């Protein structure tokens, strides 16, 4: 059996998506495969492979009591066992009738922030028949937009409305999309810790409305000049909310174009606009992972 889920990029609404802001998110052309083969042992043999074919995690645990037999990371094994135990609350027979060889293969680097955790949760939910949003909420406590992207074939707008998820498919491929690029910042950001830190703050209704309006206007945007004004306004609003300088102020003051953080600020990827190919600029600064719009987004 083989299962696949797509990675994700949150274009608008980072942080405030948790407070109900209308946000734009896109599944990526990269994702994660899960392949399951049953065996006659009493073990779950787990292997996770990065996009370059290198094993980044593996373990063996007993299928009945989930005792760790061997592992390359006790911390990751403990998280995996926590997920399996939670799944078994809803599907008691999950992975305990037979031994299993489970191979997880990412088609993106696990450090890029494209959803190594959300694609895993999505795949295990498909495998077990358990609601992925329940698993995601109890394990990672995020908004759930990444789970929506994992199972979508198009961009979406996502909104939490009194604990109800509103998800609508949209078109997002601006006429100037060839001037949009995505750059990895060489630093993985912890979504869990950022969510925890943000929960100590609270966006006002006016901020939520401003970000929601920006999301709506971005979807209707026909010129790169208007698009740049919108993402710069978004950056300014979030910067004040979380009391952090924008990534352009911090790292790219001399860049001739607009830059927007994506997801938790300070790591993962950024979105940039540029009239000319910006590869040389970013490469000279040590940022070597650069994608065109159409190379990354569905």
Q: Does 152 share its domain with 101?
A: yes
Q: Does 157 share its domain with 68?
A: yes
Domains contained in the chain, number: 2
Q: Does 247 share its domain with 197?
A: yes
- Nearest CA among 8, 15, 17, 10 for reference residue 212: 17
Query: Mean pLDDT for the chain?
Result: 94
Q: Which of 147, 167, 187 is the last residue of a domain?
A: 167
Radius of gyration, alpha carbons of the chain = 20
Q: Does 63 share its domain with 109?
A: yes
Q: Does 224 share its domain with 88?
A: no
Give me the domain span that covers residue 37.
2-167
pTM above 0.85, yes or no: yes
CATH number of the domain enclosing 120: 3.30.230.10
pLDDT score of 195: 62
pLDDT band at 30 (very low <50, low <70, confident <90, very high): very high
pLDDT score of 191: 59
pLDDT in tens, 137-175: 999 888 999 999 999 999 999 999 987 999 999 999 999
Q: Using the predicted structure, report yes or no on whether residue 83 has a pLDDT greater than 70.
A: yes
> Which segments of the chain does DSSP mark as H helices, in order?
74-90, 116-128, 132-139, 145-150, 191-198, 205-219, 224-242, 247-251, 279-284, 293-296
pLDDT score of 69: 98
């Amino acid at each position: 059996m083989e299962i696949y889920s797509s990675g994700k990029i949150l274009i608008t609404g980072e942080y405030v998506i948790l407070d109900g802001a209308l946000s734009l998110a896109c599944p990526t052309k990269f994702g994660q495969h899960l392949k399951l083969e049953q065996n006659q042992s009493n073990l779950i043999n787990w292997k996770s492979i990065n996009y370059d074919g290198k094993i980044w995690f593996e373990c063996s645990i007993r299928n009945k009591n989930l005792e760790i037999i061997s592992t390359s990371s006790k911390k990751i094994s403990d998280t995996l066992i926590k997920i399996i135990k939670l799944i078994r609350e809803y599907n008691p027979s999950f992975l305990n009738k037979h031994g299993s060889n489970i191979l997880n293969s990412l088609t993106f680097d696990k450090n890029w922030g494209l959803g190594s955790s959300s694609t895993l949760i999505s795949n295990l939910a498909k495998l077990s028949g358990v609601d992925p949003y329940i698993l995601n909420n109890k394990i990672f406590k995020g908004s759930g937009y990444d789970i929506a992207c994992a199972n979508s074939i198009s961009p979406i707008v996502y909104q939490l409305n009194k604990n109800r998820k509103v998800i609508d498919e949209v078109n997002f491929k601006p006429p100037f999309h060839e001037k949009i690029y995505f750059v990895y910042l060489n630093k993985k950001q912890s979504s869990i810790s950022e969510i925890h830190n943000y929960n100590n703050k609270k966006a006002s209704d006016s901020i939520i409305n401003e970000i929601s309006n920006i999301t709506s206007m971005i979807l209707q945007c026909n010129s790169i000049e208007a698009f740049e004004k919108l993402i710069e306004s978004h950056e300014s609003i979030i910067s004040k909310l979380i009391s952090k300088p924008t990534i352009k102020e911090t790292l790219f003051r001399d860049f001739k174009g607009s830059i927007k953080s994506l997801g938790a600020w300070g790591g993962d990827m950024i979105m940039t606009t540029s009239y000319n190919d910006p590869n040389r600029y970013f490469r000279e600064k040590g940022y070597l992972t650069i994608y065109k719009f159409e190379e990354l987004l569905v």
